[in-house]
Amino acid sequence: MLEREKVIVVMPAYNAAETLEKTYNDLSREIVDEIILVDDVSQDETVEIARRLGLKVIIHVQNTGYGGNQKTCYLEALKDGASVVVMLHPDYQYDSRLVPDLIRPIQEGTADLVLGSRILGGEALGGGMPLYKYLSNRFLTLVENLAFRKRLSEYHTGFRAYSRRFLETIPFLLNSDRFVFDSEILAQAVAYGFEITEIPVPTRYFKEASSVGVKDGLVYGIQTLGIVTKYLLNRFGILKSDQFQKKLSEVISRYHSPGIFLRKIDS
């Protein structure tokens, strides 16, 4: 068990005014020490609501994309001394009451990355997941399991928990600013030998919940297959990639390192 763990929830936000407070209200204050919301130029009252709720709010000067938003989230969480970081969408699509279950494997030292799987819950379609998204999810997960030699039920969830050790190691700043960031960070987890586990979570699809459109979903699928190919080329030594070779400390300016890393970085 980690000593004096600090659990920080990060929320990559864009136009989440209608669902932010509901997501926040379901979080356990006994478990969560801090909530950081990174706003990607929302056009609604997301920032005002977050401030009223007492969240730490970071406002981007311009929209950086879903992946770019997460980069800010994780850097801020590391700077604030997080032992465990939970990535939670503020759109109420994921059940924030399950945060204690999500972080437990990290607290117990059995995993460094925990995924909240809608497929493992067995009610993805019943919870409103469109059939085409379900089928594409299953296809991509099959391909990733074969490439990564894993048996996970779902790689494409937005409800995740990371250990500090994990985020201090993988060079997530080299990843895309787009949706494929989620696929890249999982490929890195495998490449760097981190333990991944899952817990079942319910599926929520409704009008206010954010959802990737068909066009963006197609791009995401193609890019995910691309990162799988990149991982395999690196693994077999055909084409080495910094994404799977360097550590975070090697891609961050030495002037910023003291504020991000809480331990001595191996040279």
Q: For the chain, which domains are there?
A: 8-260 (3.90.550.10)
Q: What is the pLDDT of residue 2?
A: 41
Strands 113-117 and 84-87, how do they pair? unpaired
Q: What is the pLDDT of residue 264?
A: 53
Q: What is the pLDDT of residue 193?
A: 98
User: Which structure tokens are listed for 266?
Assistant: 């191996």
- Percentage above 70 pLDDT, the chain: 94
d(CA 119, CA 129): 10
- Higher pLDDT residue, 206 or 67? 67
Q: What is the pLDDT of residue 3?
A: 52
Buried (b) or exposed (e) across 93-116, using 16+ Cβ within 10 A?
bbbbebbeebbbbbbeeebbbbbb
Per residue in 12-36, pLDDT (tens digit) is: 999 999 999 999 999 999 999 999 9
Per residue in 209-228, pLDDT (tens digit) is: 556 678 889 999 999 999 99
Per residue in 56-105, pLDDT (tens digit) is: 999 999 999 999 999 999 999 999 999 999 999 999 999 999 999 999 99
Angle between helices 214-235 and 131-148 (to 10 degrees): 10
Q: pTM of the full predicted structure?
A: 0.94
d(CA 35, CA 53): 10
On whether the CB atoms of residues 220 and 212 are closer than 8 A, the answer is yes
For residue 238, pLDDT over 60 is answered with yes
Per residue in 95-146, pLDDT (tens digit) is: 999 999 999 999 999 999 999 999 997 888 888 888 999 999 999 999 999 9
Q: What is the pLDDT of residue 122?
A: 82
Q: Where are the alpha helices (DSSP H) in 162-264?
A: 164-169, 181-191, 214-235, 248-251, 257-260
